[in-house]
Amino acid sequence: MKLLRYGPKGHEKPGMLDAEGRIRSLVGAVSDIAGDVLSDAGLAQLRSIDPGTLHIVGDNPRIGACVGHVGKMVCIGLNYADHAAEAGMPVPPEPVVFNKWTSAIVGPNDDIEIPRGSKKTDWEVELGVVIGRHAKYVDEAYALDYVAGYCIVNDVSEREWQIERAGQWDKGKGFDTFGPTGPWLVTRDEVPDPQNLGLWLEVDGHRYQNGNTRTMIFPVAKLVSYLSQCMSLQPGDVISTGTPPGVGMGIKPSPVFLKPGQTVRLGIEGLGEQTQRTRAAE
């Protein structure tokens, strides 16, 4: 299934995509794409519904983040060896973990705000992993059983705040609008191998990133297991699993960063696409 949320920001409604790519309303079936709805039992209930019996949503509504009430968005840094190389950083012996504040989460096609005074706002296409049930001290062999599904995340980053100012990476990762998520949550039964997905990103039609999740240093199962050793993961938590090479700060001889008035497009095989316009923060 491809699950989604549509409608004005803060008032999104649950929906699913039918075989023809039309949005079908799940209003009345579930309150949101969140919490226990993401469990195996919750997803099985949705799977039992004939999409043809659901109302078709017209008028091309805004698409919100594909998960509601996200408790935490946990991000992984330097999870592709070639991205670590372009960043001038060593390949990490264990996953590099940081947070993106939930206030950064927006819809897949919402605008990206360039923070006031920023000259180093960057892009990162990433595979998002949505947790479906409580996970704590999970064995890697069973880790994917705790995944509800997958989505696209653009891990937008302000590099000066991330790298050049004292403290943790979190500061440069959590600005408002820095976490476009969706358009869909694609359930794990439709993604038999999360380690073989092509992913790409373009700015103003120029392709900067073109990679595949098979080159991750730490695969999805390892990440879910690892994180569950140091925190409990809850239904609706999102793990953003790192980006392949081609980010703006790694471009030689001169880095390229986002500025207001540009268009960012990105996608992952089988998970859809995002399109954002950049604008100056008010």
Tens of pLDDT, residues 238-253:
999 999 999 999 999 9
**Measured at the alpha carbon of residue 75, what is the angle toward residues 34 and 136, in degrees to the nearest 5?**
60
Residue 84's pLDDT is what?
A: 81
Domains of the chain: 2-53 (no CATH), 73-280 (3.90.850.10)
Tens of pLDDT, residues 181-230:
999 999 999 999 999 999 999 999 999 999 999 999 999 999 999 999 99
Residue 85's pLDDT is what?
A: 82
Q: Sorting pLDDT into bands at 50, 70 and 90, what band is 9?
A: very high
Strands 272-280, 23-25: pairing kind: unpaired
Which residue bears the tokens 């372009």?
Answer: 86
Residue 47's pLDDT is what?
A: 97
Residue 44's pLDDT is what?
A: 98
Mean pLDDT of 122-142: 98
Residue 81's pLDDT is what?
A: 85
Residue 220's pLDDT is what?
A: 98
Task: Tell me the average pLDDT of the chain.
Answer: 96
Cα–Cα distances in angstroms (integers) from residue 69 to residues 11, 58, 128, 227, in the given order: 12, 25, 16, 20
* Buried-state track 5-38, b at ≥16 Cβ within 10 A, e below 16: bbbeeeebbbbbbbeeeebbebeebbebbbbebb
Express as a percent the part of the chain with pLDDT over 90: 94
What is the value of pTM for the model shown?
0.97
User: What whole-number distance in Å separates Cα of residue 181 and Cα of residue 39?
Assistant: 20
User: Do you find a cis peptide bond into 194, omega within 30 degrees of 0?
Assistant: no
Tens of pLDDT, residues 26-82:
999 999 999 999 999 999 999 999 999 999 999 999 999 999 999 999 999 999 988
228 within 8 A of 216, measured Cβ to Cβ? no
User: What whole-number distance in Å separates Cα of residue 125 and Cα of residue 87?
Assistant: 15
Q: Rg (Cα) of the chain, in Å, rounded?
A: 18
Residue 166's pLDDT is what?
A: 86
180 φ/ψ angles, rounded to the nearest 5 degrees: -55, 130
